Amino acid sequence: MVQLKIKNTILSASVLLSAVLALSILAKADFGPSAFAQTITPKMHLDEGIKALKANDNQGALMHLNEADKGLASSSSSDQSAKMHLDEGIKALKANDNQGALMHLGVADQILSGSG
């Protein structure tokens, strides 16, 4: 009977130590927004903006397109053509010209995909 209590105490202590170790590892991990934001490219925002626009979520589209625009602000000269079309797409969206916006955003997407 005493041996069983000792085994249970040791088992409980082991489980508790494992839990403490796991929590300490998680506490040191960086799961903040910056951990994920670094991997989101302007093209990803552009794609999400196009999806939102096609779903008639103009506000969501504008949010993603503005983020894509920020990402392209300091981009290479080859992306400047894509940025110009993105800017024109944003202007069209703000003017409620969704078809014009989709046309410009589609061109920007082709350029950023390397097929434009």
- The whole-number pLDDT of residue 10 equals 81
Q: Where are the domains of the chain?
A: 2-29, 40-113
What is the residue whose two structure tokens read 């489980």?
15
Q: Within 10 Å of residue 116's Cβ, how many Cβ atoms? A: 13
Does the pTM exceed 0.85? no
Q: What's the confidence (pLDDT) of residue 3?
A: 78
Q: Is residue 67 scored above 70 in pLDDT?
A: yes
32 vs 46, which has greater pLDDT? 46
Does the pLDDT at position 90 exceed 90? yes
* Span between the terminal Cα atoms of the chain, in Å: 78
Cβ atoms of 76 and 43 closer than 8 Å: no
Identify the burial level of 14 via C-beta atoms within 10 angstroms of its C-beta, where 0-12 means exposed, 13-18 middle and 19 or more buried.
Answer: exposed
Q: What CATH topology corresponds to 40-113? A: Four Helix Bundle (Hemerythrin (Met), subunit A) (1.20.120)
Q: 60 or 23, which is more confident?
A: 60
**pLDDT for res 108:** 94
Is residue 9's pLDDT more than 60?
A: yes
